[in-house]
Structure 1
């Protein structure tokens, strides 16, 4: 957790690599192998890039008892990035790029008075960080995604469980009372904690309205979460089949549904979207396509079309990124894909339009709420940091807590910089063309 103190006061900060569990975090506990030349190039590129950005760079001592920079005062809001171990920082980046940048934070080798601020600056200038000649050599130094992370039927279940089966108790510590793990839609910005659950319900209700969910509607939900959408659909009189690959989420959602007296209307199954049979008036999927993987987007949209009854509607909530950045990310093993969402890829709006059209679906509604996701992530991050002791009591060590803080801040920065967006989309069966009608 970042602590702000006067610059003369020592902080018992992260104790450094020596305290890292090498079995649990092997690539954080040890420095990677990197040639002196590669490290020197990384140092020069990084130092030149950071010098051109609205950031302060400070060199501190090694992790252990170092001052954390005091926050900016007055009108100067320039965030400060403090390098406790510059040699390790540049060596990790030289060896592993942005994976190394993230692992260096996990190891306590750098810190900041404003994590979201630093990451927002970096995200806003991401195309300027590496000189153009070196960008052309990108394929020679980036790591490619491991084959084990492919979203085959077995792989998809493993990937989902590595994130969503961490602990139900962990997620309840920082999510709002609805236990919704996706962007809320607030009535007004900036958001307040008191608005959170109502904003999550507003998000769900808009999706249910897009899909036309009402009494007697046969609803398929792809991605149960902890059950809130299924509960609200059932409260409208719908019959719901909700599927998930998370055993922890299924058990939790089933308990909530039974406690609400809606077990006759809602069925929750451990099942892959590719294995579902039937016909549904409404198909709803909230921020699940990001876990599908580009290799399987065609299968995903084909399943949506196959499962949709005549006259039915699909309502999706999806995070998106620009198309060229998506293509670069798809070819790269990133810090997020290594530690947070293995096998995942955020699609672009172009990819969503292309893949859905190829499957015989037409987009009839498309609205973005990126600023609302930034606020959602801010509230999650603040809750998580406030619950740091409770997270530790659940058995999550200081490396995990720094990793999770970085994940939430990194995601928030993506939306603050408008590199990321989140969209609610309605799809219907495409009208048949001339050949189809014949």
Structure 2
């Protein structure tokens, strides 16, 4: 882990990271009340939280060190969990094993905020900026802010398949040298679910860097793949040409709502998280409309418990602000209710494998840490590296705690002639 300011970390650039470089103004009363609430919540958890100059609270467990308690409490008191993440980016707190500490917090998320404040969440929690709605124009901007950061950055911590979604391993613990095979196993399971083979007309919503399209083409399918990321499209096209599949794969810079034609199969991997709840009906109707009768749709989706999804539906989070603007993770109930209420598709199968995502994220996080000097050489500063470390650890913790899960879905479209 990168050290914080007290251990010699570089201060955040105020031009690039204005809300990290400057501790927000907060009255002494607000800081004091926040400190009391935070310490009370943490004292009930299986953690050891050590405050610089202020003792230790918690029931024992992974260590979390608060190096600048005043700044830590000021940020949480003014920006909630967004402030908690920004405090990490600023180096005001750290942990020898961040995943272990964050897993405890993820497992007790519903208990961290007192019930009266939970009921008043709509009054105090920050709300989503209107310009981050996932309209066609908003989606292009939101996707670009994450996926167009740099192909070279993603290549530093992804395996050679450049697959940025959960793998499926044969066993645990997972090893880096088996990650590419585990990614192919995941892709092949989806292609098998969708019954993709020679001559299959495939629509892929969300290209990534092209690995699924390449494996579908290798089976003899004809693939139309849609992406909103120019960086991803450019590299995916290079990979398609290099593999000799340019006659079978078309990659279009196109919103899913602009798709046309009919296909035997639709495949979409971890795309629904970027759709936004208000557009879920549109997304699933698009799958239905693009599928030919008798067609199959195979999806991979991250999910969260339905109650937590409802509680946080309107909340603007640290992940929204710094990693995935406009993103929102559905519950399995939300997915299945939306499909039932807005399409003629039938749920045929759903398989969960959240533990595999935790291992995938661990491998990415370790690889990212190993390549920190190369990340810096690409122009990403120390604050960004702490941001990305926190993002990967935070996500891994969510899966280890069971707060997050990942599923592969198969939906089928009835053939009227059958």
TM-score bracket, shorter-length normalisation: over 0.9
Structure 1 Cα separation of the partners of residues 111 and 233 of structure 2: 44
Counterpart residue number, 1:435 = none
Match of 2:70 among 81, 84, 87: 87
Matched, 1:315 2:315: no
Post-superposition Cα deviations, 1:245-276, rounded to whole Å, max 9, x if no partner, equal 00000000000000011000000000000001
Post-superposition Cα deviations, 1:41-96, rounded to whole Å, max 9, x if no partner, equal 211111011111111122338xxxxxxx9xxxxxx992111111000000100000
Query: 1:2: Cα distance to partner?
Result: 4.5
SS in 2 for 1:331: coil
Matched, 1:403 2:387: yes
Match of 1:224 among 187, 197, 207: 207
Match of 1:364 among 323, 337, 348: 348
Post-superposition Cα deviations, 1:166-193, rounded to whole Å, max 9, x if no partner, equal 0000000000111100000001111111
Structure 2 Cα separation of the partners of residues 340 and 389 of structure 1: 21
Matched, 1:173 2:165: no
Counterpart residue number, 1:421 = 405
Query: 1:107: Cα distance to partner?
Result: 0.4
Structure 2 Cα separation of the partners of residues 411 and 283 of structure 1: 27
Match of 1:327 among 310, 315, 325: 310
Query: 1:431: Cα distance to partner?
Result: 8.0
For structure 1, the 5+ residue unaligned runs are 4-9, 62-68, 70-75, 433-438
Post-superposition Cα deviations, 1:126-157, rounded to whole Å, max 9, x if no partner, equal 11112222222222210111101001111000
Matched, 1:14 2:9: yes
Counterpart residue number, 2:143 = 160
1:130-149 matches, cutoff 5 A: 130-149=113-132
For structure 2, the 5+ residue unaligned runs are none
Post-superposition Cα deviations, 1:395-428, rounded to whole Å, max 9, x if no partner, equal 0000000000000000000000001000000001
Counterpart residue number, 2:49 = 57
Tell me the number of residue pairs that the alignment of Structure 1 and Structure 2 aligns. 412
SS in 2 for 1:87: helix
Counterpart residue number, 1:341 = 324
Post-superposition Cα deviations, 1:205-251, rounded to whole Å, max 9, x if no partner, equal 00000001000000000000000000000000000000100000000
Structure 2 Cα separation of the partners of residues 78 and 2 of structure 1: 22
SS in 2 for 1:221: strand
Matched, 1:206 2:198: no
Structure 2 Cα separation of the partners of residues 198 and 301 of structure 1: 30
User: Do the aligned residues in 2 keep the contact of 1:99 with 1:334 (CA within 8 Å)?
Assistant: yes
SS in 2 for 1:366: strand
Deviates more, 1:333-342 or 1:127-136: 127-136
Counterpart residue number, 2:33 = 41
User: Do the aligned residues in 1 keep the contact of 2:163 with 2:209 (CA within 8 Å)?
Assistant: yes
Counterpart residue number, 1:412 = 396
Structure 1 Cα separation of the partners of residues 224 and 7 of structure 2: 50
User: Do the aligned residues in 1 keep the contact of 2:294 with 2:415 (CA within 8 Å)?
Assistant: no
Structure 2 Cα separation of the partners of residues 395 and 246 of structure 1: 20
User: Do the aligned residues in 1 keep the contact of 2:6 with 2:67 (CA within 8 Å)?
Assistant: no
Counterpart residue number, 2:17 = 25
Counterpart residue number, 1:6 = none
Post-superposition Cα deviations, 1:385-404, rounded to whole Å, max 9, x if no partner, equal 00000000000000000000
Structure 1 Cα separation of the partners of residues 203 and 107 of structure 2: 38
User: Do the aligned residues in 1 keep the contact of 2:350 with 2:407 (CA within 8 Å)?
Assistant: yes
User: Do the aligned residues in 2 keep the contact of 1:329 with 1:345 (CA within 8 Å)?
Assistant: no
Structure 2 Cα separation of the partners of residues 274 and 187 of structure 1: 36
Structure 1 Cα separation of the partners of residues 91 and 8 of structure 2: 8
* Residues 1:106 and 1:408: Cα distance change in structure 2 (over 3 Å): same
User: Do the aligned residues in 1 keep the contact of 2:107 with 2:401 (CA within 8 Å)?
Assistant: yes
User: Do the aligned residues in 2 keep the contact of 1:219 with 1:239 (CA within 8 Å)?
Assistant: yes
1:208-357 matches, cutoff 5 A: 208-357=191-340
Structure 2 Cα separation of the partners of residues 77 and 180 of structure 1: 38
Query: 1:37: Cα distance to partner?
Result: 2.9
SS in 2 for 1:389: helix
User: Do the aligned residues in 1 keep the contact of 2:227 with 2:254 (CA within 8 Å)?
Assistant: yes
User: Do the aligned residues in 2 keep the contact of 1:2 with 1:112 (CA within 8 Å)?
Assistant: no
Structure 2 Cα separation of the partners of residues 257 and 321 of structure 1: 34
